[in-house]
Amino acid sequence: MLEIFDEYVKQYDLHNEGIKAKYQHSYRVMKLSEKYAKMLNFSDEDIFIAKVIGLLHDYGRFPQYQKYQTFDDYNSIDHADYSVQKLFDEGEIKKFNISPQYYDIIKFAIQNHNKIKIAKTDDKRKLKHAKLIRDADKLDIIYLLGYLKRLNLNTSKEISAEVLKCFEKHKSVPRELCQKPNDRIVMMLAFAFDIYNDICLKELKDNYKYFYERLNNKEIFETIYLDLLKYIDERIDKNVR
């Protein structure tokens, strides 16, 4: 599976920092998915499925960048939907020699990994995989921004009222509300409110410490950050959700 994925990515320019980052992100999310699937006592079969989803969740990112020269879904195409199109509508999932009995689970999880909410389903297996990939993806995004320092976290001095309102209610911040540089920072700080598996929160908290240290104008975010830490600590200690 890994060799096939590597061959796929070689079609694209790995000298491009963005493509290289997405390639490395895919591997880290795969490993996080495997790690937490084991900690959550998934069956061996579901651990394998979690690894597949983790590796392939951003499959559409590579042709997205080649076609649009951006990873911004709002100025190009929804990358999760594009991943599903490439893998399932165009049949590229067949290259990976994965049993078709897993296709519906993989498709559902990938398609829902970046949406503001998971689509309704009565299938508990689909749901647990969708929740895990969303958690693993967010963990690595904050890791990427904090530890690896790959993206610019320069900020201004304003936060939009609607964005702040979402945060204060401990709700996810929809991307369309983000009009200012600080809004996107708050959106990422609000990732914690959309973590499903409490077992992921300790690692997320550690990643946020590095993320926060990289921010300019920290004083603007201090109250928000302290509220975030309090929320995470309560969930870790009391399983509050």
Please indicate, yes or no, whether residues 108 and 203 belong to a single structural domain of this protein: no
Cβ contact 138:191 at 8 Å: yes
Please indicate, yes or no, whether residues 20 and 120 belong to a single structural domain of this protein: yes
Give the pLDDT of the chain (241 residues) as one tens digit per residue. Answer: 999 999 999 999 999 999 999 999 999 999 999 999 999 999 999 999 999 999 999 999 999 999 999 998 888 998 999 999 999 999 999 999 999 999 999 999 999 999 989 999 999 999 999 999 999 999 999 999 887 776 566 667 789 999 999 999 999 999 899 988 889 999 999 999 999 999 999 999 999 999 999 888 888 899 999 999 999 999 987 654 4
Please indicate, yes or no, whether residues 8 and 118 belong to a single structural domain of this protein: yes
Which pair of structure tokens corresponds to residue 11? 């079609």
Please indicate, yes or no, whether residues 134 and 232 belong to a single structural domain of this protein: no
Taking only the tens place, the pLDDT of each residue in 146-182 is: 877 765 666 677 899 999 999 999 999 998 999 888 8
Please indicate, yes or no, whether residues 192 and 104 belong to a single structural domain of this protein: no
Please indicate, yes or no, whether residues 84 and 125 belong to a single structural domain of this protein: yes
Quickly tell me which residue has 């594009």 as its tokens: 82
Q: How far apart are the first and last CA of the chain?
A: 36
CATH number at residue 53: 1.10.3210.10
Number of structural domains in the chain:
2
Q: Which domain holds residue 163?
A: 153-241
Q: State how far the Cα of 27 lies from the Cα of 22, in Å rounded to an integer.
A: 9
Please indicate, yes or no, whether residues 158 and 143 belong to a single structural domain of this protein: no
56-to-49, 149, 210 alpha-carbon distances in Å: 11, 24, 27
Please indicate, yes or no, whether residues 46 and 163 belong to a single structural domain of this protein: no
Q: What residues contact 150, with CB distance under 8 A and at least 6 apart?
A: 17, 21, 144
Q: State how far the Cα of 92 lies from the Cα of 83, in Å rounded to an integer.
A: 10
- Choose one of 130, 151, 172: the last residue of a domain: 151
Per-residue b or e along 104-114, where b marks 16 or more CB atoms closer than 10 Å to that residue's CB: ebbbbbbbbbb
Burial of 99 (0-12, 13-18, 19+ CB in 10 A): exposed
